[in-house]
Amino acid sequence: MAAPLAGIRVVELATYVAAPSCGALLFDLGAEVIKVEVPWGEIYRHSTPRMAGYDSDFPASAPFQMDNHGKQSLALDLALPQAQEALRKVVGTADILLTNMLPDRLANYGLDPKVLLAQMPKLIIARLSGYGPDGPEANEPAFDYSAFWSRTGLMSTLHDSDAPPAFQRPGLGDHSAGLTLALGILAALRTRDNEGHGQVIDVALHDIGYYIAGNDTSTALVTDQSPPQHDRSQPRNPLWNHYECSNGRWIFLVMIESDRYWPEFLEAIERTDLKTDERFADAVARYKNSAALVVELRGIFSSKPLEHWRELFEKYRLIWAPVLTLAEAIHEPNAVARGTFPTVDHPDLGTFRTVANPLRMSAHTMPSTVPAPMLGSDTASVCEEVGVDDETIALLLAASS
């Protein structure tokens, strides 16, 4: 079968993570994606692991490779009027303009959505922003650290009560936003197929933060209160809690319906004597005597290393998980078996593993192993195709060298 987006051209005018990750998803679905970059390459392209504190000699940015695989690279210095004109010609051949440029900058380059849609009524313009294009902060720059993480309550919520606010890891909000933007684009393509017109799709990192934390956010809206923080010394459900093992590792119990799992859980930890303890007879009793049960469970789990509990628990049908480091998690047998970390064969970087598109389709394979483009590798061919004259192409290439 043909790829779902075969024949669709995307022009990506974006940097960093969220919008480019959307572009990579569209490529995996079969679209042609032309990435517009500054001639010296965006910072994300050059962010090697060592720059982020890893002890590694990998000479490129692994996240850039993941979020830009399969694209073409068009290097343009948009300070030049000729580059702006070339960009407008390229956009004129597109089905989708994907961007995280702020509204004022888009307008400066002659890419205001109203103007574009008047000229190209079938164009789909997909915009990613920090705070949305129609509010008081439409032209405010943002990262997911600020708009998604800090200003939506996530940063103040996701930490133990005795710990300071948690620092977000890179790309959490961005990749969530990229998935959402891809969904909106697919819906807009469906509408265009049916009704013949394009439209503007907007995703804001600020909105994504509220939505990702929707369980807490919706409850806060009806209570006007922040959620109670989890207290692992006295949780509402001791079978939904994490416990330290004898070797300093942790095990996470996630038996939300605790009555359903209580008898088998006691067999697994070899404490069937607790079945007759009235303090722990059912979920309500365990809630009322939570602190006492946690003391019992802490003593049990701290008596053996994590591997002991892993081997034991795998014999029972319980919901739990070892708390893994990321260096361990990337070797998880289930993920490896499912092809979550495919191998890229890069002409300059050699072979390395990357993170696959999380979507699986029975009739279409996701080509997540295609390398990201070399900087400016497609500038000449793309410009020539859209009718940029040879003299201007030479100028643009010179400005990129």
Give the pLDDT of residue 359.
Answer: 94
For β-strands 199-204 and 124-129, DSSP reports them as parallel
Q: Could you tell me if 44 and 66 are in contact, meaning their C-beta atoms sit under 8 angstroms apart?
A: no
Mean pLDDT by 10 residues, the chain (401 residues): 94 98 98 97 96 96 97 97 97 98 94 96 98 94 97 94 91 98 98 98 98 97 95 96 98 98 97 97 98 98 98 96 97 96 96 96 91 97 97 94 81
In the chain, the amino acid numbered 169 is R
240-328: in CATH 3.40.47.10? no
Give the pLDDT of residue 179.
Answer: 98
d(CA 185, CA 38): 25
Give the pLDDT of residue 160.
Answer: 84
Query: Please, where are the H alpha helices in 224-325?
Result: 258-268, 283-288, 290-301, 306-313
Q: Could you tell me if 35 and 73 are in contact, meaning their C-beta atoms sit under 8 angstroms apart?
A: yes
d(CA 140, CA 49): 29
Domain positions in the chain: 9-214+338-400, 240-328
- pLDDT tens for 245-273 read 999 999 999 999 999 999 999 999 999 99
- pLDDT tens for 3-55 read 999 999 999 999 999 999 999 999 999 999 999 999 999 999 999 999 999 99
d(CA 19, CA 203): 10
**Residue 264, CA atoms < 13 Å, CB-side half-sphere:** 15
**CB-based contacts of 258, cutoff 8 Å, min separation 6:** 237, 238, 239, 240, 283, 286
Give the pLDDT of residue 368.
Answer: 87
Q: Is the pTM of this model over 0.85?
A: yes
Q: 397 — phi, psi (to 5°)? A: -70, -40
Give the pLDDT of residue 369.
Answer: 93
What is the sign, positive or negative, of the torsion defined by CA atoms of 259, 263, 264, 268? positive
CATH number, span 9-214+338-400: 3.40.50.10540
d(CA 66, CA 344): 10
Query: Residue 267: is it exposed, middle or buried by C-beta count within 10 angstroms (0-12/13-18/19+)?
Result: middle
